[in-house]
Structure 1
Amino acid sequence: MFAGFEEIDIALPGATIRARVGGRGDPLLLLHGYPQTHAMWHVIAEDLARSHRVVVADLRGYGDSIARDDDFTFRAMARDQVALMRHLGHPNFHVIAHDRGARTTHRMVLDHPDAVRSAALIDILPTLDVWRTMDDWLARRYYHWLFLAQPGEMPQRLINGDPVGFLHSALIGLSGAKELFAAGALAEYERAARNPAVVAAWCGDYTAAASTDLEHDRADLGRTSDIPCLILWGNRGVVAHHLDPLDAWRKWFPRAEGHGVDAGHFLVEERPAEVLLSLRRHLGCA
């Protein structure tokens, strides 16, 4: 995976971020989500590197990135990634992000508006809308939002009793089939899940999303960004069940465009060719 990419570790305040860097052209940051690592981008990173300088990073505490404090807010994650890109000589850049990485990108645009040239957000609604629409139907499908945010170390102790089993359950629950993941990528997700520090990061992430992240987003209600924004979602997932994703995101990104893909939550790995075509059009290189 990631042929031609260099692997790097960059020490930043509060975290050391693991990333892979490859290609030439305008800088492009790829961010993953829960419960994955940067390995999810293996299916399209090399193609994107034909036209861009691609940086594929693990979020703090996820994968091989190390968190040195307990701040797992999207604000902290966004700060990490902006610092990473500046360290690499990219004061502004494009971002393509899935799941928690896309929430990090939303916060990045709000906190660092001059850093992000364009954004592609994959299979999420705004965090405030997720909690606002959290009924029994959604809670059964997004149970991890509530479980991982429980106080204390109980979720971590339960997960660490069978971390790979928990990972597989999460992947299947969000996608419907573990078989859609390439063997090499799945092995990376399993390796990360066996690390108790990664499990702690999952829990810290979702605890923040149920508390501090909501405060941050409420404080920024009414703020918008006019950067180009692509919204993609899986038609067989849950994102479009309660709300139209474009309507939801146009409250933050008035220029947002996008569409659904015949896939579940992990549409990058399930429909890579279709997703890549949409991303290349968004980036102006189709």
Structure 2
Amino acid sequence: MFNGFETIDIPLPEATIHARVGGSGAPLLLLHGYPQTHVMWHGIAEDLAQTHRVIAADLRGYGDSLAHDGDFTFRAMARDQVALMRQLGHDSFHVIAHDRGARTAHRMVLDHPDAVRSVALIDILPTLDVWRTMDDWLARRYYHWMFLSQPGDMPRRLINGNPVLFLQAALSGLSSGESAFHPEAMRAYETAARKPSVIAAWCGDYTAAATTDLDHDRADLGRQSDLPCLVLWGARGVVAHHVDPLSAWQAWFPGATGRAIDAGHFLVEERPGEVLGHLAAHLARS
């Protein structure tokens, strides 16, 4: 996995960010989601590195990245990644992001518009739309949104009792039912899940998404970006059940294009070749 890539750890004022770096060309930042790490990009990172300088990073608190200040808002996560890229010499860059990483990318466009050249958002709706459409059907599938955001240390203590079981349930509950995860990738996810600090980051992330992140997004309602934007989602997943994802994102990115992929939530690992084709075309256009 990640042949030809260098492993780095970059200290920042509020976090230490772990990443893999490889390839040459225009800079491209890859951001993962819950409950994974940068390893989720293992199936396409080497191909993307044929045309781009690829940086696959762990979000603060996830994987081997550390959060020093306890702030797990998408604003803080976006700030980290912009600082990481600047430390590596990239003042502007393309972003491809999945799940929580895609929410971080959205906040990055809002807070640091000059830093982002193009964005690809994979299998999410805007955070405000998720909460607006939350009903009993969605709550059963997104139960972790409510559970992880509970106050106090109860969620962390319960998960730490058997973190690998919780991880496996989270992954299987959102996948299409296929064996999507490479054994080496699964080992990396399990290793991360065994760290109490990672469990704390999961909980801090979802707590922020139910509180402060909503305030940030409400304050930016009506703001739009003309950046090139690609939206991809799993046809067998949850995202498109209530809302058309492309229409939802066109409220923020009027020129966004996109489509469904025959997969569940983890389409990058379930359908790497098909996803890579759409991402490569998007990057070429951008």
TM class by shorter-chain length? over 0.9
Tell me if the contact between 1:224 and 1:251 (Cα under 8 Å) persists in the aligned partners. yes
Q: In the alignment, residue 132 of structure 1 is paired with which amino acid?
A: R
Q: Which residue of 2 aligns with 1:74?
A: 74
2:140 matches 1:119: no
Distance 1:165 1:123 in 2: 24
Query: What is the number of equivalent residue pairs in this alignment?
Result: 286
2:58 matches 1:89: no
Tell me if the contact between 2:176 and 2:237 (Cα under 8 Å) persists in the aligned partners. no
Deviations 1:245-267 (A, max 9, x none): 11100000011000000000000
Q: Which residue of 2 aligns with 1:195?
A: 195
Q: Which residue of 1 aligns with 2:224?
A: 224
Q: In the alignment, residue 168 of structure 1 is paired with which amino acid?
A: Q
Aligned pairs (5 A) from 1:20-99:
20-99=20-99
Distance 1:210 1:175 in 2: 23
Q: Which residue of 2 aligns with 1:142?
A: 142
2:106 matches 1:106: yes
SS of 1:230's equivalent? strand
SS of 1:236's equivalent? coil
2:161 matches 1:161: yes
Runs of 5+ consecutive residues of structure 1 not aligned to the other structure: none
1:285 shift after superposition: 7.3
Deviations 1:106-131 (A, max 9, x none): 00000000000000000000000000
1:177 shift after superposition: 3.3
2:251 matches 1:251: yes
Tell me if the contact between 2:176 and 2:265 (Cα under 8 Å) persists in the aligned partners. no
1:224 shift after superposition: 0.5
Q: Which residue of 2 aligns with 1:8?
A: 8
Tell me if the contact between 1:171 and 1:177 (Cα under 8 Å) persists in the aligned partners. no
1:178 shift after superposition: 6.8
Deviations 1:218-249 (A, max 9, x none): 00000000000000000000111001111100
SS of 1:259's equivalent? strand
SS of 2:42's equivalent? helix
Distance 2:153 2:181 in 1: 30
Distance 2:129 2:282 in 1: 25
Runs of 5+ consecutive residues of structure 2 not aligned to the other structure: none
2:220 matches 1:209: no
Q: Which segment is superposed worse, 178-187 or 111-120?
A: 178-187
SS of 2:94's equivalent? strand
1:176 shift after superposition: 4.0
Q: In the alignment, residue 254 of structure 1 is paired with which amino acid?
A: P
Deviations 1:172-198 (A, max 9, x none): 001143721000000000000000000
- TM-score, normalised by the number of residues in structure 1: 0.99
Aligned pairs (5 A) from 1:225-240:
225-240=225-240
Q: In the alignment, residue 30 of structure 2 is paired with which amino acid?
A: L
Q: Which runs of 4+ in 1 moved over 2 A?
A: 176-179
The percent identity for this pair of structures is 76
Distance 2:173 2:203 in 1: 18
Tell me if the contact between 2:32 and 2:58 (Cα under 8 Å) persists in the aligned partners. yes
Deviations 1:116-152 (A, max 9, x none): 0000000000000000000000000000000000000
- TM-score, normalised by the number of residues in structure 2: 0.99
Q: In the alignment, residue 66 of structure 2 is paired with which amino acid?
A: I
1:66 shift after superposition: 0.6
1:69 shift after superposition: 1.1
Tell me if the contact between 1:168 and 1:178 (Cα under 8 Å) persists in the aligned partners. no
Tell me if the contact between 2:99 and 2:122 (Cα under 8 Å) persists in the aligned partners. yes
Distance 2:63 2:176 in 1: 23
SS of 1:200's equivalent? helix
Tell me if the contact between 1:171 and 1:178 (Cα under 8 Å) persists in the aligned partners. no
